[in-house]
Amino acid sequence: MAQEEQSLLSAEIINRGIHPSGPDAGSPTFSVRVQRRLPDFLQSVNLKYVKLGYHYLITHAIYLATIPVLVLVFSAEVGSISKEELWRKIWEDTRYDLVSLLAFFAVLVFTLSVYFMSKPRPIYLIDFACYKPSDDLKVSKEEFIELARKSGKFDEASLDFQGRIVQSSGIGDETYVPKAIMLPENCATMKEGRAEASEVIFGALDELFEKCRIRPKDVGILVVNCSLFNPTPSLSAMIVNHYKMRGNILSFNLGGMGCSAGVIALDLARDMLQANPNNYAVVVSTEMVAFNWYPGRNRSMLIPNCFFRMGCSAVLLSNRRHDFRRAKYRLEHIVRTHKGADDRSFRSVYQEEDEHRHKGLAISRDLLEVGGDALKTNITTLGPIVLPVSEQLLFFSTLVRKQLFGSSKTTKPYIPDYKLAFEHFCVHAASKTVLDEMEKNLELSDKNMEASRMTLHRFGNTSSSCIWYELAYLEAKERVRRGDRVWQLGFGSGFKCNSAVWRALRRVRKPNKNPWLDCIERYPVAM
């Protein structure tokens, strides 16, 4: 990316003040200096998040520690006497004490009942669908700029700026945009927003219901997330109306939660499935491109125009144990990180109006820095939950050493190898710069980042649905085998960074319906 564009994506704060007047009076204002990369994770890791990860592990899996201890104690006791002596001892001690024997079995039954009743229900992913727009909405990078010029909404300086961004963005020549954004009139209307929402959402859901062979009335929980387009009635109500879903459906509509909302929606669906047995949940993740199109000249607001493209995903989850046989994945963990308490993080991606009252999404120069901080927090919390024992020991030794001897400038914290914890990586395809820095700082290989890079190239940044297009890429390549672990990582406004971990229950063959089927043989491509 050219120096001018890069400077818009990363910076370091050096001063803080307060807006004296205007619509932002009383809110913080910042003076920044350019920093053109993510912070190096090796330089500093806040170990309190490591402790948070261990706390999560102990809280959710205490039986993993108690069961081996009980087994060892029982084995040691039994191993010291013969089978005949053991039987004689049990018989002699209990034949005259029926009350004690019944009490023992009552406690055993009670303990097992509490364990199985409190154990979280497994959450299965039956299947998912990613919407693929029609070819008449496909544009190349050159066509994108030419259509922007014909719309008459931008001056030459703005067109030149967007052209440089697009050329260095990592986006290819087959992404999709709504026709409305290139028309001279205003496209950010409720009519255009609803039209685009109907197209992408119903397209994804129609495919999902067909693939899973279920009726819309079978769905008991519906969660929809769309960050910037939130009409009344809601998008979830629009879906219920279109498919004539049942009247007691539990529906939720998440708005304003950015590109990481796909994992947040999964978390909500998981909680609802835990509370409502024998149910199906559908999670829809999307964003409306036309409604959020910025026609002004503010360069920080022009950046989203260059990256965001049409897309939508629909996922079917189940807590029915008999769905284990047909499910593709089981949900293992969700770890969420929210940095909204920090002012820079809060304003790093901010919807506002420019001096000409044009609404747009402003990208702060602090974005890469605050994003790196949120990512660092998230992965250090996730580490103790997913890493193998060898990495756990090295990770834990760093924590102990710092607690006993304090921090040292010459001793760098140990950054674990996450390639040992996951076979597949689905990192939110925000931009080429972000993916490059992710690969460098987490020491991932080109193969690990392939799904993210190719999704950015083929479909652009589709916001919260990106991670599902990436998983669809892995399935189209037939790389997912039984037992494989998949890490979906999303980040977005707030600032939030969220992780979802899945385990494949079977080998996933190339599906009959997949957005990559017509082009998968051409990928990967050089970027």
d(CA 44, CA 398): 12
* Contact status, residue 345 vs residue 355, Cβ threshold 8 Å: no
Judged on CB neighbours under 10 Å (0-12, 13-18, 19+), 113 is exposed
pLDDT along the chain (527 residues), means of 10: 40 42 44 41 48 50 48 49 58 58 72 67 96 94 91 90 92 93 83 95 97 96 96 96 96 95 97 95 96 91 94 97 94 95 93 91 89 88 85 74 64 73 95 90 92 97 97 96 96 93 94 93 89
Active site members: 259, 338, 424, 428, 457, 461
* pTM of the shown model: 0.81
Tell which phi-psi region holds residue 443, choosing left (phi > 0), alpha (psi between -120 and 50) or beta: left
Residue 21: its pLDDT value, please? 46
Alpha-carbon Rg for the chain, nearest whole angstrom, is 26
Residue 197: its pLDDT value, please? 96
Secondary structure (3-state) at 195: helix
- Per DSSP (E only), the strands in 183-254 are 221-226, 250-254
* Edge-to-edge strand ranges of the sheet holding 280-286: 250-254, 221-226, 280-286, 312-318, 124-130, 329-338, 496-504, 485-492, 424-427
Residue 496: its pLDDT value, please? 95
Element (H, E) at 113: helix 98-118
Q: Report the greatest alpha carbon distance in the chain.
A: 98
Length of the chain: 527
Name residues whose C-beta falls within 8 Å of residue 132's C-beta, 6 or more positions apart in sequence: 203, 515
Buried b (16+ CB within 10 A) or exposed e, 228-250: bbbbeebbbebbbeebebeeebb
* Contact status, residue 465 vs residue 181, Cβ threshold 8 Å: no
Residue 81: its pLDDT value, please? 56
> Which one-letter amino acid corresponds to residue 519?
C
Domain boundaries, the chain: 3-61+122-522, 81-118
d(CA 285, CA 462): 9
Peptide bond into 515 cis (omega under 30): no
Angle at 35 (CA atoms; ends 30, 40), nearest 5 degrees: 120
Please give, one letter per residue, the 3-state secondary structure of 69-102.
Answer: HHHHHHHHHHHCCCHHHHHHHHHHHHCCCHHHHH
DSSP for 237-306, written as a single string: HHHHHHHT--TT-EEEEE-S-GGGHHHHHHHHHHHHHHHSSS-EEEEEEE--TGGG---S--HHHHHHHH
Judged on CB neighbours under 10 Å (0-12, 13-18, 19+), 6 is middle
CATH of region 3-61+122-522: 3.40.47.10
Residue 238: its pLDDT value, please? 97
Instruction: Residue 7: name the closest of 364, 360, 362 by CA.
Output: 364
> Which one-letter amino acid corresponds to residue 517?
L
